[in-house]
Amino acid sequence: MLAVCVCRCTQCPLEGVDSTSASVLSRCFTRISPVSAILAALCREGHREAETRVPRCCRNLVLHPSDMLSRLVFVSASALKSSGPIGAGVVHASRCLHTSSQSLAPVPPLPEKGGKVRHGIIPEELFQLLYPKTGVTGPYMLGAGLLLYMLSKEIYVINHETFAAASIGAVIIYGVKKFGPSVGAFADKLNEEKVAKAQEVKDVAMSSLTQAIDDEKKEQWRVEGRAMLFDAKRNNVAMLLETNYRERLHMVTNDVKRRLDYQIALQDLNHRLEQEHMINWVEKSVISSITPQQEKESIAKCITDLKALAKATQAKATA
Amino acid sequence: MAGRRVALKAIDWVAFAERVPPNQRGMFNALKTRSDGISAKLASLPEKPVAIDWNFYRSAVAKAGMVDEFEKKFKALQIPEPTDTQTSNINAQEAEANKSAQAYIEGSKARIAEYEEKLAKFKNMIPFDQMTIEDLNSVFPETKLDKVKHPYWPHKPIAEL
């Protein structure tokens, strides 16, 4: 009954829909069913730029949506925004199509994350593909329509297996959602350890090689000093020779000197001996020449001298 | 007296000590102490011997002519220099050492070239994040799994896992 166009701040205005066809479409949808009409006509215009291009009749048909439907719009719009850059035909750069026969070398690394998916299974590319024609809710409508078709035409028959599949699906989804990140982190850690081990091997190898190169260079520098050893040896030899020569000189001089000194000492000894001998001989002869007569006379004289001396000293003492 | 007093080359013991590798330090210390002992002994001896005062002796010694004879003989005396038997040995040793040093340096250079090559290989390796297993096997051949010898997974003896 009411065709509703909600002005949302989405980026891409509807392309290829001019004013007349938009009005025709909206009127068509009103005849089919209210719900589908509302869902189909959501989220068309809304950008400031887009507003200028919005056909006049669509703007005239803007009316307030019901609350539940607006919440659906919010959800789909936010999901659309959160899924990444919106642009028709955006593909990850590393997944290039092999347009030319040249191959890249080195092989470009694998992308960090896999392709974006909505609700865990459906790739984002489908939504991007359908966005220009059917907007945000297009793929959902497609999915719902397909499901309804398969159920109503009994292409897929509901039986016991359906409930089994549903239960198993639920359990699997719960398990993955709960334990997925931790298992992923564990696997990543294993991988990290392997890479870290290999990196360590590489680092140790590189450092040991640089160390070995430095050591070799140092050893070469050391070898260059070998001349000093032989200089030292030759110096030692020269010093020894010189020392020996000087010792010889000194020895000769000292020996000559010693001999001359010996001669002098010998002379002195002879001289001294002669002197002493002479003195002794003279004394002996003098003593032997003293006769007993002379001895008595000399003793008497000594006594009289002594007496005189004694008198002299006595006189001196009393005086 | 030619040939005497070959100029002693000044040796920088500090620089010499730097070049000695640690395992030969004992030998170096022994050499240094020996050299120092020899040079100390040399320094303790005066260069010229004490001159003999002939006139004093001439007046002192009574024997005629003895001093003159001594003097004449003394002045005519030529003290032979000690012969140098070792320098040629040392020169021969030095030549040999030079040869072996050359050989060692050649070997060292070859080793350095080897190390540089290996280092270049490591430096030019792609980072591990971007490697495939084939790349890893080409860089580290020991990681290649021998699928002929061990045809079943894990392609290596269980003990090596």
Q: Is the pLDDT of residue B16 over 80?
A: yes
**Which range, of A76-85, A236-245, A299-308, averages the lowest pLDDT?**
A76-85
Residue type, A44: R
**Amino acid B3: pLDDT:** 45
Is B79 within 8 Å of A259 when comparing Cβ atoms?
A: no
Q: For residues A46 and B88, what is the distance between their CA atoms, to the nearest angstrom?
A: 105
Is A228 within 8 Å of B11 when comparing Cβ atoms?
A: yes
Complete DSSP assignment for chain A: ----------SPPPPS--HHHHHHHHHHHHHH-HHHHHHHT-S---SHHHHHHS-HHHHHT--PPPHHHHHHHHHHHHHHHHTS---TT---TTS----SS---SSPPPPPSS---EETTTEEHHHHHHHHHHH-TTHHHHHHHHHHHHHHHTTSS---HHHHHHHHHHHHHHHHHHHHHHHHHHHHHHHHHHHHHHHHHHHHHHHHHHHHHHHHHHHHHHHHTTHHHHHHHHHHHHHHHHHHHHHHHHHHHHHHHHHHHHHHHHHHHHHHHHHHHHHHHHHHHHHHHH--HHHHHHHHHHHHHHHHHHHHHHHHHHH-
CA angle A141, A142, A144 (to 5 degrees): 65
Residue type, A97: L
Q: For residues B137 and A201, what is the distance between their CA atoms, to the nearest angstrom?
A: 15
CA angle B76, B77, B83 (to 5 degrees): 140
Q: pLDDT-derived band of residue A100, with 50, 70 and 90 as boundaries?
A: confident
**Amino acid A53: pLDDT:** 44
Q: For residues A6 and A67, what is the distance between their CA atoms, to the nearest angstrom?
A: 12
Q: pLDDT-derived band of residue A145, with 50, 70 and 90 as boundaries?
A: very high
Q: Is the pLDDT of residue A112 over 70?
A: yes
**Amino acid B65: pLDDT:** 80
A211 touches B9 (CB < 8 A):
no
Assess A198–B contact: CB distance below 8 Å, yes or no: yes
A86 touches A131 (CB < 8 A):
yes
**Amino acid B48: pLDDT:** 81
Q: pLDDT-derived band of residue A162, with 50, 70 and 90 as boundaries?
A: very high
Residue of A212, A234, A246 lying closest to B90 (CB–CB): A234
Residue type, A77: A
A150 touches A89 (CB < 8 A):
no
CA-wise closest residue to A85 among A161, A11, A175, A20: A11
Q: pLDDT-derived band of residue A94, with 50, 70 and 90 as boundaries?
A: low
**Amino acid A25: pLDDT:** 43
**Amino acid A178: pLDDT:** 96
pLDDT tens sequence across B52-90: 888 888 888 877 788 888 888 888 888 888 888 888 888
**Amino acid A85: pLDDT:** 38
Q: pLDDT-derived band of residue A156, with 50, 70 and 90 as boundaries?
A: very high
**Which range, of A69-73, A201-205, B135-139, averages the lowest pLDDT?**
A69-73
Q: For residues A306 and A312, what is the distance between their CA atoms, to the nearest angstrom?
A: 10
Ramachandran category for residue B118: left, alpha or beta (phi over 0 → left; psi -120 to 50 → alpha):
alpha
Best A192, A211, A253 member to test B by mutation, with max B CBs in 10 Å, is A253
pLDDT tens sequence across B148-158: 999 999 888 88
Assess A109–B contact: CB distance below 8 Å, yes or no: yes
Q: Give the percent of chain B with pLDDT over 70.
A: 96
Q: Is the pLDDT of residue A5 over 70?
A: no
Q: pLDDT-derived band of residue A96, with 50, 70 and 90 as boundaries?
A: low
Chain-wide mean pLDDT for chain A?
76
Determine the distance in angstroms separating the CA of A204 from the nearest CA of chain B, rounded to an integer: 11
Q: pLDDT-derived band of residue A270, with 50, 70 and 90 as boundaries?
A: very high
Contacts with A241 (C-beta within 8 Å, 6 or more apart), sequence order: B81, B82, B84
Is A209 within 8 Å of B118 when comparing Cβ atoms?
A: yes
Is B115 within 8 Å of A235 when comparing Cβ atoms?
A: no
Question: How much is the average pLDDT of A15-34?
Answer: 43
Contacts of A225 in chain B (CB under 8 A): 15-16, 18-20
Q: For residues A44 and A212, what is the distance between their CA atoms, to the nearest angstrom?
A: 71
CA-wise closest residue to B8 among A251, A243, A18: A243
Determine the distance in angstroms separating the CA of B15 from the nearest CA of chain A, rounded to an integer: 9
Is B119 within 8 Å of A213 when comparing Cβ atoms?
A: yes
A7 touches A41 (CB < 8 A):
no
Best B1, B4, B6, B123 member to test A by mutation, with max A CBs in 10 Å, is B6
Q: For residues B126 and B134, what is the distance between their CA atoms, to the nearest angstrom?
A: 12
Assess A104–B contact: CB distance below 8 Å, yes or no: no
Neighbouring-strand partners of residue A122: A118
CA-wise closest residue to A118 among A139, A99, A102, A98: A139
Which residues 23-52 of B have a C-beta within 8 angstroms of A? 31, 34-35, 38-39, 41-42, 45-50, 52
Assess B74–A contact: CB distance below 8 Å, yes or no: yes
Is A249 within 8 Å of B21 when comparing Cβ atoms?
A: no
**Amino acid A42: pLDDT:** 42
Question: How much is the average pLDDT of A94-108?
Answer: 72
CA-wise closest residue to A141 among A230, A220, A49, A36: A36
CA-wise closest residue to A133 among A224, A290, A14, A236: A14
Question: How much is the average pLDDT of A49-76?
Answer: 44
Q: For residues A14 and A53, what is the distance between their CA atoms, to the nearest angstrom?
A: 9
Q: Is the pLDDT of residue A28 over 80?
A: no
Which residue on chain B is closest to A241 by alpha carbon? Answer: B82
**Amino acid A180: pLDDT:** 94
**Amino acid A103: pLDDT:** 76
Contacts of A259 in chain B (CB under 8 A): 70
Q: Is the pLDDT of residue A185 over 90?
A: yes
**Amino acid B84: pLDDT:** 84
**Amino acid A30: pLDDT:** 43
Q: pLDDT-derived band of residue B115, with 50, 70 and 90 as boundaries?
A: very high
Q: pTM (2 decimals)? A: 0.55
Ramachandran category for residue B155: left, alpha or beta (phi over 0 → left; psi -120 to 50 → alpha):
left
CA angle B137, B138, B140 (to 5 degrees): 60
Question: How much is the average pLDDT of A270-274?
Answer: 94
Q: Is the pLDDT of residue B8 over 90?
A: no
